[in-house]
């Protein structure tokens, strides 16, 4: 499986997710700079990492989402490219219009940095096929702006269409309907605030995140 990690100025989970991809797929991902205008040929999965791209200026993820490489990601996502956005990456994907809604300041105003229990809502996506529906997993969160917002009609649609991938078992940031991660209507784009790439081996305190990457590998079939 050929993968790529997008690197913006201020990304800080790019190497974590690169290690997770390399350990689970056996191949190091291409590290792609935000100014690049095209993805390397044959890339099947793109990770948009966590961090503070452009210092969170204007809005979290706003400026990164308008960078040249994101235009290429948006174009290829329309043709089925699998895109995983974690934390700041989720914010970038909503700002880029690849996922509905927006991530706002946490309802409690605090930066939340801790492990959080999640429920797998939809285990039928390319990203979550390694899990079972209703399964409880634990991932770390570390964010200030993870409060998922969308209008009621959009939330109803997300729930009705099975686009809610993960919910918080305990809502740590005020997210609407406890939503922690969503997939696009076509199922090829997933955004989530918690960090699966920080839970891939026992030394991390657990390996619940590993199955996201091994599942993707199975889904892509390489």
Partner 1 sequence: MKLRIYVTLKPGVLDPQGKAIEHALSGLGFSGVDSARVGKLIELEVADGTADADVDAMCRQLLANTVIENYRIERA
* Residue with the two structure tokens 């201020």: 10
59 binds partner 1 (CB under 8 A): yes
Residue 95 three-state SS? helix
Is residue 60 annotated as part of the catalytic site, yes or no?
no
How many Å separate Cα 23 from the centre of its chain? 18
Is residue 13 annotated as part of the catalytic site, yes or no?
no
The residue range among 47-55, 67-75, 81-89, 99-107 that interacts with partner 1, by the rule CB under 8 A, is 99-107
* Residues in 157-176 that interact with partner 1 by CB under 8 A: 174
146 binds partner 1 (CB under 8 A): no
10 Å Cβ neighbour count for 97? 10
Selected binder of partner 1 within 28, 38, 78, 107 (CB under 8 A): 107
Closest to partner 1 by CB, 33 or 57: 57
- CB 105 to partner 1: min, Å: 5
Determine phi and psi for 208, rounding to 5 degrees.
Answer: -60, -25
204 binds partner 1 (CB under 8 A): no
Selected binder of partner 1 within 41, 109, 202, 203 (CB under 8 A): 109
As a whole number of angstroms, the distance between CA 159 and CA 197 comes to 25
Report the candidate in 90, 91, 28 with the shortest Cα–Cα distance to residue 61. 91
* Residues in 1-40 that interact with partner 1 by CB under 8 A: none
As a whole number of angstroms, the distance between CA 142 and CA 161 comes to 28
74 binds partner 1 (CB under 8 A): no
Instruction: Please say whether the dihedral angle defined by the alpha carbons of residues 135, 49, 197 and 189, taken in this order, is positive or negative.
Output: positive
Strands (DSSP E) contained in 8-133 are 30-33, 45-48, 82-86, 102-104, 112-120
Is residue 195 annotated as part of the catalytic site, yes or no?
yes
Closest to partner 1 by CB, 76 or 147: 147
Q: How far is CA 185 from CA 162, 169, 192, in A?
A: 9, 24, 15
The residue range among 93-101, 164-172, 180-188, 202-210 that interacts with partner 1, by the rule CB under 8 A, is 93-101
The residue range among 58-66, 116-124, 156-164, 204-212 that interacts with partner 1, by the rule CB under 8 A, is 58-66
Q: What are the residue numbers of the active site?
A: 87, 195, 197
Give me the residues that bind partner 1 (CB under 8 A), please: 58-59, 62-63, 66, 94-95, 100-102, 104-109, 147, 149-150, 174
């Amino acid at each position: 499986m050929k993968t790529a990690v997008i690197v913006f100025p201020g990304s800080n989970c790019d190497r974590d997710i690169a290690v997770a991809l390399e350990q689970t797929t056996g191949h190091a991902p291409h590290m792609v700079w935000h100014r690049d205008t095209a993805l390397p040929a044959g890339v099947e999965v793109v990770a948009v990492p966590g961090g503070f791209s452009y210092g969170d200026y204007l809005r979290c993820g706003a400026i990164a989402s308008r960078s040249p490489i994101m235009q290429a990601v948006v174009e290829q996502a329309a043709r089925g490219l699998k895109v995983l956005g974690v934390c700041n990456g989720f914010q970038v994907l909503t700002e880029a219009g690849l996922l509905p809604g927006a991530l706002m300041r946490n309802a409690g105003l605090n930066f939340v940095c801790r492990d959080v229990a999640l429920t797998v809502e939809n285990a039928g996506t390319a990203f979550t096929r390694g899990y079972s529906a209703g399964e409880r997993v634990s991932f770390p969160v570390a964010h200030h702006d993870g409060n998922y917002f969308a209008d009621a009609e959009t939330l109803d649609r997300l729930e009705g269409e099975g686009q809610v991938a993960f919910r918080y078992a305990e809502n740590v940031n005020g997210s609407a309907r406890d939503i922690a991660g969503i997939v696009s209507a076509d199922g090829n784009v997933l955004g989530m605030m918690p960090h699966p790439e920080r839970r891939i081996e026992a030394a991390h305190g657990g390996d619940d995140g590993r199955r996201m990457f091994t599942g993707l590998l199975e889904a892509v079939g390489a």
